[in-house]
Amino acid sequence: MIVLEKRPQPSRTWSMATPLVAVLATMICGGLLFAVLGKNPVEAIGTIFWEPLFGEYAFYYRPQLLVKGAPLVLIAIGLSLGFRAGIWNIGAEGQYIMGAIVGAGVGLAFYPMEAFYIFPLMVLAGAFGGWVWAMIPAFLKVRFGTNEILVSLMLVYVAEQFLASMSLGLLKNPEGFGFPGSRNLQSYASAHNAELIEGSGMHWGVVAAFVAVIFAYVLLNRHMTGFHIRLTGEAPRAARFAGVKPARLILFCLGMSGALAGLAGLFEVSGPSGQISIDFNVGYGFTAIIVAFLGRLHPVGILLAGGLMALTYIGGEIAQGSLGLPAAAIQVFQGMLLFFLLALDLLTNYRIRAARKEVA
């Protein structure tokens, strides 16, 4: 018989090792899944994890890693603050959409004027859009005690409908021959989030993601608010005695994650994607949840996890093309990773022992 014995303190070694073990376990199980789908598992796993980095066309895929990783890291950093304190914002997808709409809206309002201040204004507007959308569940939670999980998630569906209405209505390109979707911001110089170094994939969103990582690290380790966040998550009772105001923490965590998700949306719409369209969002807001957990809710961990998750996206696309692996298989693969991660967390907090026969 095997028994679990609670560790007096979470194991640091296992805390660092579980993400790696989880990735390995996911590779094995994912390989089995690909084998069931009739693909060569070794080849498929190789394509996903090796091709984008060191393959023949790696020069094309490596910049993509930054492009896909940046929004994931930006959103996940915001989410991790709340998750640490037990505040569950799972509506980042909605905040991402609203940030993109508001930011792009501000940019398009200036069209066709060219000025240096347009893009900074759009960035502010994007953060503001996401922030407002996240403040709805935050306010309702603080004022009425409404469950933030359900409200933030419901608002994703509302935002998706709003996106459809915007791309068919107010923001529709008047010169778009009636097709849905806004003007392409890539061809509007003042609003274009262009690559900072040609061919590197490096755009302002990537810069923002790195800044967010540093900011979150400093906040959590050197600032009182960060201490309160950690305290609330680890010992809610102690936090209350220490005078932590839950309402303020909820507003801060949700607002911050909303603003960062909004920023991610703005950088995406003004850069890689270019325009507001009905299917502009691709689920970064949900994948970022996996990234946040994979990075152990730690800023540096999230940075690495964001890179890994971007890798599975890109590798998945390559495998779709070359091996005919269905897109959904990658989604399953990512979900599997989250499962292994959460389950293996057991080893951080518990020790597994063979039960000794006790003599009564």
Partner 1 sequence: MDLSAINPVLLVASLMVAATPLLLAAIGELVVEKAGVLNLGVEGMMITGAICGFAISVETGSPWLGFIAAAIGGAILSLLFVLMTQVALANQVASGLALTLFGLGLSALMGQSYVGIKPPAMGRLDLPVLSDLPVVGPILFSHDPILYLGILLTGAVWWVLKYSRAGLILRAVGENHDAAHALGYKVIRIRVLAILFGGACAGLGGAYISLIRVPQWTEGMTAGVGWIALALVVFASWKPWRALLGAYLFGGVTVVQLNLQAAGVAIPVEYLAMSPYLITILVLVILSADKSGAPAALGRSFHASH
- The residues binding partner 1 (CB under 8 A) are 4, 6, 88, 90, 140, 144-147, 149-151, 153-155, 157-158, 161-162, 164-165, 168-169, 286, 289-290, 293, 326-336, 338-339, 342-346, 349-350
Nearer to partner 1, 147 or 221 (CB): 147
Distance of closest approach, residue 196 Cβ to partner 1, in angstroms: 33
Distance of closest approach, residue 70 Cβ to partner 1, in angstroms: 21
Distance of closest approach, residue 260 Cβ to partner 1, in angstroms: 19
In 3-state terms, what secondary structure has residue 5? strand
Nearer to partner 1, 169 or 174 (CB): 169
Nearer to partner 1, 6 or 222 (CB): 6
Long-range contacts of residues 140-149, Cβ cutoff 8 Å, at least 24 apart: 141/250, 141/254, 142/247, 142/250, 142/251, 148/87, 148/88, 148/89, 148/250, 148/254, 149/88, 149/90
Nearer to partner 1, 112 or 145 (CB): 145
Nearer to partner 1, 127 or 337 (CB): 337
Distance of closest approach, residue 342 Cβ to partner 1, in angstroms: 4
Q: Length of the chain in residues, anyone?
A: 360
Where does residue 317 fall: left (phi above 0), alpha (psi -120 to 50 degrees), or beta otherwise?
alpha
155: which 2 tokens? 């608002």
Distance of closest approach, residue 355 Cβ to partner 1, in angstroms: 12
Among candidate residues 355, 357, 351, 358, the one with its CA nearest the CA of residue 4:
351
End-to-end CA distance of the chain: 17
Q: What is the largest CA-CA distance in the chain?
A: 86
